[in-house]
Amino acid sequence: MRNWRRLLFWFLSALWGLQVVWLAWYFAPEVQDVAWRLAQDRTGAAIRQEDSYYRWLLSLAAIIPPQASYVFLDNYQAGKEIEARYHLAPRRHTLLTPDVSPGFLFYTLCQEKASYLIIREGDKPWESADAVHNSAGFRLLPTPGPGLIFQVDHTRLAGKFYD
Amino acid sequence: MIDAALLLLRLLLGLGAVFLLGYGWVALLVPRLRDFRTLERLAFGFGIGATILTLWMLALTWLGQVFSLILILAPPLALTGAALLLKKLLPRRANGTVAQAFQPAAPPPPTPYTVWDWLFLGLLAALFLFAFLRAALYPMWAWDAIATWGCKGKIFYQSRGLDLTCIDAHNYYPNLLPLLLSYLYFCLGRVNDHLAQGLFPLWGALLLALLYSFLRRMGLNRTRALGVTAFFALNGTVFIVHLYIAYADLPLAYLALAGVGLLYLWFTAAAPRGSLALAACFFGGMAWCKYEGPPLAATVLLAAVLTLAWLRPPDLKARFLGLGIPLLGLALGLLPWRLFAALRHLEMGADHLQQLYPHQLLAGCSYLAAALADPFFFGFLWPALALALILSGRALWKSPLLFLVLFVAGNLLAILLAYGLAPTSAEEFPSYVRATLDRLLLHITPVAALIVGKGLKDLQGRPEE
């Protein structure tokens, strides 16, 4: 090996050594958390139970039958809708954004024959709030948590056609 | 405690069955199993086993059968066993000229492990201890894991079939990973997504085993091969994070490395017999693993064709024909799902083929350059690759190394082109790149490590010409 090549090799190796030290520092908080959880025996499903949103979804799963459909009102970017879809599967899931008009919301509920409407209370107000509260087709269910769930009687909704 | 131990045992037995199935297929596809080291057989076997098993699950859905553990496992294992028995009973044909293509070198006498060997092994052991605990003790949480791969795996288990009626989550994506996860749930007897995530550090370990094996076959000694393997694994955060999030990118990187590595050995006449047939399985696996798989496999084949056309080896025609084997594998991995999707009227994603946005292409160049140079993503691996290429000099144009370089360069270009075609708004584009670039680079980074390994070998003397 020529001298300058050898020097280059050792220079790169030294940089890599520093990189390994940096990686150890970067992942240290996660390593600490793993060790703490192992020591406390708080692993697996117990970690999910720490999340209030997950606990709320569990209470929704107890209400919504597995073969039922629901419409979920939230921003996809918030990442909460995918959690709901995951934990509520195999219930059929349709996502709509909070700024959806009452007309389109009612139309979708009818089309999907959705029995439930779930609204996560996020940073945006939902456009159809008044229409839903004033309609006879919705019944608010008492499940405290970071959102609302309505039982939907889509036969009583005026929304068979949307233009 | 006993329940947890039993669950772990069921997971290990389930993974063991995948290894067994794949090992059987390796034994079927290669004329002489002992040409491959045990580590290679295991590393190849798992990928092939996972591909065969999940394609069988697709066939079961096609046949209208409800999934059960017996139905998933028994027929492919029995058929493989019967085929192996038949192979053993049939008289062997004369090997003729094919046998001369590869003569395995006599195994070198065992050498004692050096301090460096122990250091590299220790670093890798520490990494995998962390990765396994991080994967298997925490529930599935990463975005694509719960939005796509894990969600489908859970639904396939609950519905006892490949049922996509209750979700709309890129339903046209291939299903190797969701079906494998659902198979593990069948083994566990329930949905246990944290334990099933133990699959991913295993896949990472197999990727490293392949990388090490290829480096050894390229002529690096144990210490250097281990060094390059550790250099790849412990460089930047992307590979490490993918060891414990349930994404399909790590399996795709493994499959791509296997396919490319085997073809490279075939180019250098260092491939044991049967390597092309094995490569065909990995090409099929790529197509069945992820939506980006078929284009990735196509770039491998394109790089191989260009390399052959440039180098013009004496057996050019036979070599070109030989590439038909991995091409066949690609078709066998691609077509079943495409046909299934067409018959079930699943909407295929085609939104990336509209028009070219030049400003995105230019922005993509700067993002790509930053990702390759920023140690946060892949450490110093890509700068090391650049150095290896500079040091290889003219040998690059006269050796099969060209194949690896064309594959990597072709994919970098493909990534840029994909960003140029992506129909995103100006505000969305940076976050779109941030969410995808590191994963796309992960698919090709193990091959980049092979080039670094070749460069390290050449440091010992003049590059081969």
CB pairs under 8 A between A and B: 97
Q: How confident is the model at residue B98 (pLDDT cuts 50, 70, 90)?
A: very low
Q: Are both A21 and A83 inside the same structural domain?
A: no
Residue A163 in any domain: the answer is: no
The answer to whether residue A102 sits within a structural domain is yes
Together in a domain, A78 and A96: yes
β-sheet with A92-96: strand ranges across: A92-96, A69-73, A116-120, A147-152, A138-140
**What residues in A contact B1, CB-CB < 8 Å?**
none
Pick B143's closest partner by Cβ from A20, A43, A79.
Answer: A79
Is B225 a residue whose pLDDT tops 60? Answer: yes
Residues B244, B291: contact at Cβ < 8 Å? Answer: no
Closest partner CB to A86 (pick from B151, B387, B461): B151
Is residue B97 one of the residues assigned to a domain? Answer: no
Question: Can you spell out the DSSP letters for A67-112?
Answer: T-EEEEES-GGGSHHHHHHHHHTTSEEEEE-TT--HHHHHHHHHHT
Is residue B342 situated within a structural domain? yes
Domain total of chain B: 1
A54 lies in the same domain as A36: no
Does residue B107 lie within any of the structural domains?
A: no
Contacts of A2 (CB under 8 A, 6+ apart): none
Model confidence at B170, pLDDT cuts 50, 70, 90, reads confident
Number of domains observed in the structure of chain A: 2
User: Are residues A35 and A59 located together in one domain of the fold?
Assistant: no
Q: What pLDDT is stored for residue B13 in this prediction?
A: 96
pLDDT band for position B248 (50/70/90)?
A: very high
Please state the rounded mean pLDDT for residues B129-134.
Answer: 96
Asked if residue B171 belongs to a domain, the reply is yes
Residue A161 lies in a domain: no
Nearest chain A residue to B131, by CA: A31
pLDDT-derived band at A121, boundaries 50, 70, 90:
confident
| Owning domain of residue B378 | 2-79+118-459
- Inspect the interface and report whether the beta carbons of A82 and B147 lie closer than 8 Å: yes
Q: How far apart are CA B252 and CA B292, in angstroms?
A: 9
Are A14 and A66 in a shared domain? no
Question: What pLDDT was estimated at residue B352?
Answer: 53
Domain match, A37 and A57 both: no
- Mean pLDDT across the stretch B339-368? 82
* Res B464: pLDDT: 46
Same domain for A39 and A71, yes or no, is no
Average the pLDDT over B34-59 and give the result.
Answer: 96
Contact A31 B130 (CB under 8 A): yes
**Are residue A95 and residue A139 in the same domain, yes or no?**
yes
Say yes or no: A30 and A78 in one domain.
Answer: no
CB-nearest to A34 from B134, B150, B391 is B134
> Is B102 a domain residue?
no
Bridge partners, residue A148, by sequence = A119
Among chain A residues, the shortest Cα distance to B195 is held by A44
Assign residue A70 the CATH number of its domain: 3.40.190
Q: Which of B146, B387, B460 faces A86 most closely, judged by CB atoms?
A: B146
**A19 shares its domain with A82:** no
Q: The whole model's pTM is what?
A: 0.93
Please list every residue in chain B whose beta carbon sits closer than 8 Å to the beta carbon of residue A3: none
Residue burial A74-92, b: 16+ Cβ < 10 Å; e: rest: bbeeeebbbbbbbbbbbbb
Q: Do residues A32 and A91 both lie within one domain?
A: no
Range of the domain at A19: 3-43
- Furthest-apart CA atoms within chain A: distance in Å: 85
Query: Is B208 contained in some domain?
Result: yes
**Strand spans (E) along B316-430:** none
Is A29 an 8 Å CB contact of chain B?
no
Residue pLDDT, tens place only, A69-116: 999 998 888 889 999 999 999 999 999 998 889 888 998 998 888 999
Tokens coding B328: 């066949």
Interface check for A39 against chain B (CB to CB < 8 A): the answer is no
Tell me if A19 and B195 make a contact (CB, 8 A cut-off). Answer: no
Residue A158 Cα, gap to closest chain B Cα (Å): 25
Burial class of residue B159, CB neighbours in 10 A (0-12, 13-18, 19+): middle
> Tokens 């082109």 belong to which residue?
B417
Judge if A92 and A148 occupy the same domain. yes
